[in-house]
Amino acid sequence: MTRLNELRDNPGSSKTRIRIGRGIGSGKGKTGGRGGKGQTARSGVAINGFEGGQMPLHMRMPKRGFNALNPKDWNEVRIDRIQNYIDSGKLDAKGVIDAAALVAAGVIRRPRDGVRLIGAEGFSAKGVSFKVDYATKGAAAAIEAAGGSVEVIPAKATWKKTPYAG
């Protein structure tokens, strides 16, 4: 039986770090493993995409796609997860299930930009009505097959037109 004061690492399990720049006898002295002189021998080097002043390849390639300026940050909730919360009694299936009800039950932490229902199976609660911002076709079909209803709230505009102050 080993005692606490006799505990040791397995031999060879840890290496001591190499102390660079500590004399030529260490093998990592003088230039310290950085090669010769120049930009890369110094700190703060960022030349991965640099091509000597020529337009870099990533800038020569054509742009594709679109990145929204203010993308929505949805809470995506699987319907089988909601079923688990209904079965455990944390979520009341009698009332309307919306973002506030999901936060109160602990299904989601905060409402963010809205709730999206996803998933197509694992839901069996009868007569549950949802009021959410989005539901996939499979999720809506599964809820309606169980005798429930899904009301999709129209999306709110995230921008406001500023009046002209001429």
Report residue 77 as tokens: 């909730």
- The confidence score (pLDDT) of residue 58 equals 92
Q: Identify the band that residue 159 occupies on the pLDDT scale cut at 50, 70 and 90.
A: low
Asked if the model's pLDDT at residue 165 lies above 70, the reply is no
Label residue 147 exposed, middle or buried (CB < 10 Å: 0-12, 13-18, 19+).
exposed
pTM score: 0.58
Mean pLDDT, residues 7-32: 93
- All structural domains of the chain, each given as residue ranges with its CATH number in brackets, are 75-152 (3.100.10.10)
d(CA 98, CA 114): 9
Mean pLDDT, residues 62-69: 90
Q: pLDDT digits over 83-106, tens only?
A: 999 999 999 988 899 999 999 999
Q: Identify the band that residue 154 occupies on the pLDDT scale cut at 50, 70 and 90.
A: confident
**47: Cβ contacts below 8 Å, ≥ 6 apart:** 39, 40
Q: Identify the band that residue 54 occupies on the pLDDT scale cut at 50, 70 and 90.
A: very high
- The confidence score (pLDDT) of residue 45 equals 86
Question: Alpha helices, DSSP H only, in 15-109?
Answer: 57-60, 79-88, 99-105
Q: pLDDT digits over 126-143, tens only?
A: 999 999 999 999 999 999
**147: Cβ contacts below 8 Å, ≥ 6 apart:** 126, 127
As a whole number of angstroms, the longest Cα–Cα distance in the chain is 86
